[in-house]
Structure 1
């Protein structure tokens, strides 16, 4: 673990901000070992090819993460995930002609919302890109719930499997299979109330749904980082900064007026979809759907926080620095015409995004009463969301 101003600043922020939310900073050093135990325990349950080799692969990844992580409070496996996402994005940025400065330092913090931020390091030219605690785990679990919500059918010819985007069939499927909604209620409550989506029951998928879940997870996580890279390639890191008080820390955040957020969304979408399509050989519609799902995830967490805090799904959806998630989502869908010159691809991408939207709405309708019940019982959001107890 190297020592730079950015690394030292990240470690200080993690120590102070996590302590302010009631987390014992020293316990954070144990997170990596617990992550390994969880992943290794479930590695052979999901039907991976060469499942017996997975523990060894993960042990090697864990060792690399320990050596590379920028702070002793950072989970090694989460850090390696960030590094690999950055490797993929930077390769794509080069092929698209974007010139990137030296890589920022990555980390996780209790930011108060499902998002990421670029932070200027005091008395230094370095920057951090930090993600809300639990964001990657939440996107992983959400991708599984969404993929499991689609009705999968065997193709009569060719022996393949496909899913239906017919909204009525999706609703019927979710009526007959309550597990996706039950799982969603479990991990949303764990994230909102306990501050950690992984305190929910483990969620393993098999079959074709597992592959789609992996695409949605990867694309969603990629876009969250790609959005911050959108700020970088747009020169936002060199422009005006604003300060924000988080607990007892005053953070210098890259200025984020709405126009810059939309600009970073667009460039981030180009980077993420191009990476998924050209580097991973994934369908553009699925790649865009994974990007679009990020905004649905943000809206879902905002609504869940509002219900648990004050029994109002709209209560926490407003931000002085970021446009509403639904507005950002609508803007990107509109800008698809600018990014793609193939009308059929644009139509397919929008259709898949709208299908995922329908799934999220049905799932929300299923879990909202449970969240309202939590509020009625006096349960309130975790301090990582920065919401004062009512």
Structure 2
């Protein structure tokens, strides 16, 4: 092969990779300065460690649980809640950022129905509107992105404060659960013995079910009593525990969070935590549960309506995206900018309301580099290529994907640069 031929081949290979589907982005553990979730989590972690440090009598554990030896990081959306890894000489607690964002936005959605309104406050939005917002959140979690790519919608300052309180109380339980693993000296992945670049997150988070139950029990006590230690009403802590498990249950129902032999369904775990609240706090337990029970009923009602609305939207979106992929023509020649723009706007609107149906259809239509190259090489002519259903569906799917939000492109393995809004 001559140098000119080699250069031409290299250009062709770059072209093919640009217009095809590659591997999704790799999951990394980190806490970028721009990640507000990580900052909030670090604050909660510091509060928990202050409480644990004040109550521990075991000198070895007290050293392990010093603030500089339990670090908090976030991981991109995944099928787990959180995990703890030993990276000597520290434990690193990594939380699922997609789930944390879902918990906050779920709280933001239903907070408008929780606050006690005064005559000066505007009325709460209809529950149907809130259920519609939750339906969108759930469908983003059901998609391969596993994170709610939804901008914060306008709401009042009291609702925002209430949502933040719910979310931080819920995340406190998650962190307290992970601290419980450390306290009980449970099986924790050791970075010196595991290749972190190769192991999957579920593999790193695998341990006997009795250890998960112990961590839930300890996490319940630590969550409640660390908030009391900070002068916060224990009813808020119990509400956070209930809220977290209801959010987790919704994540499980749409496939965003995995249930396995160790990590039992959220409903079972909540029942265990509720039982130990009754045993540990006795006559105080009914009072501790007051807020939790009232908000739990509201969230269950909204969730039922949201799940039904999500199913309805998916049915409509699935039919429409299939119609687009089946009937839209695509040319190797000049593009019809007006038609393409209209198509793109419709698909972006459809994705904003029912992302899972759209993203799944795009994923099924996108071709990898080898298959795409075979189609190009096997086509007798440009006209024949335009008639090839696989090529045509791929071109449409790739066009839609490269204008999708960056996390969608990453999840689908499409890395097509858009410069100044132009291809």
What CA RMSD, in Å, does the superposition of the two structures yield over aligned residues? 4.1
Choose which of 133, 137, 141 in structure 2 pairs with 1:187.
137
Matched, 1:367 2:369: no
Choose which of 138, 147, 159 in structure 1 pairs with 2:111.
147
Unaligned regions of 5+ residues in structure 2, if any? 1-21, 322-356, 364-406, 413-423
Q: Could you say which residue in structure 2 is the equivalent of 1:85?
A: 44
Q: Could you say which residue in structure 2 is the equivalent of 1:206?
A: 156
SS of 2:204's equivalent in the other structure is strand
CA apart distance, 1:84? 1.0
* Alpha-carbon spacing, 1:325–1:24, altered in 2? closer, same or farther (3 Å): closer
Contact 1:114 1:298 (8 Å CA) reproduced: no
Q: Could you say which residue in structure 1 is the equivalent of 2:204?
A: 253
Contact 1:187 1:200 (8 Å CA) reproduced: yes
* Alpha-carbon spacing, 1:139–1:239, altered in 2? closer, same or farther (3 Å): closer
CA apart distance, 1:239? 9.7
Equivalent residues in 2 for 1:280-299 (5 A)? 281-299=231-249
Choose which of 92, 95, 115 in structure 1 pairs with 2:81.
115
Q: Could you say which residue in structure 2 is the equivalent of 1:352?
A: 294
CA distance in 2 between partners of 1:72 and 1:115 (Å): 16
CA distance in 1 between partners of 2:248 and 2:102 (Å): 11
Contact 1:333 1:350 (8 Å CA) reproduced: no
Q: Could you say which residue in structure 2 is the equivalent of 1:226?
A: 176
* Alpha-carbon spacing, 1:87–1:193, altered in 2? closer, same or farther (3 Å): same
Choose which of 150, 165, 171 in structure 2 pairs with 1:215.
165
Contact 2:115 2:162 (8 Å CA) reproduced: no
CA distance in 2 between partners of 1:354 and 1:185 (Å): 18
CA distance in 1 between partners of 2:31 and 2:233 (Å): 38
Contact 1:107 1:129 (8 Å CA) reproduced: yes
CA apart distance, 1:302? 1.8
After superposition, give the CA deviation of every residue in 1:177-210 in whole Å (9 maximum; x if it has no partner).
4331222223333343262645213224315433
CA apart distance, 1:327? 0.5
CA distance in 1 between partners of 2:154 and 2:194 (Å): 39
Unaligned regions of 5+ residues in structure 1, if any? 1-19, 29-69, 164-172, 307-315
Q: What TM-score comes out, normalization by structure 2 length?
A: 0.58
Asked which structure has the greater RCO (Cα within 8 Å, sep 6+), the reply is: 2
SS of 2:49's equivalent in the other structure is helix
Q: Could you say which residue in structure 2 is the equivalent of 1:41?
A: none
CA apart distance, 1:332? 0.9
Contact 1:107 1:131 (8 Å CA) reproduced: yes
CA apart distance, 1:24? 7.7
How many residues are aligned here?
298
Contact 1:120 1:253 (8 Å CA) reproduced: no
CA apart distance, 1:380? 5.0
Choose which of 224, 228, 232 in structure 2 pairs with 1:277.
228
Equivalent residues in 2 for 1:17-28 (5 A)? 22-23=24-25
CA apart distance, 1:264? 0.7
CA distance in 2 between partners of 1:238 and 1:245 (Å): 14
Matched, 1:263 2:204: no
* Alpha-carbon spacing, 1:194–1:240, altered in 2? closer, same or farther (3 Å): closer
CA apart distance, 1:141? 0.4
CA distance in 2 between partners of 1:230 and 1:24 (Å): 29
After superposition, give the CA deviation of every residue in 1:307-357 in whole Å (9 maximum; x if it has no partner).
xxxxxxxxx763133111110011111111123131442452552364244
* Alpha-carbon spacing, 1:108–1:350, altered in 2? closer, same or farther (3 Å): closer
SS of 1:143's equivalent in the other structure is helix
CA distance in 2 between partners of 1:277 and 1:371 (Å): 44
Q: Could you say which residue in structure 2 is the equivalent of 1:51?
A: none
Contact 1:140 1:217 (8 Å CA) reproduced: yes
Q: Could you say which residue in structure 1 is the equivalent of 2:272?
A: 331
Contact 1:181 1:367 (8 Å CA) reproduced: no
**Structure 1 segments of 4+ aligned residues over 4 angstroms from their partners:** 70-76, 237-241, 243-247, 371-378, 380-385
CA distance in 2 between partners of 1:114 and 1:239 (Å): 15
* Alpha-carbon spacing, 1:185–1:360, altered in 2? closer, same or farther (3 Å): closer
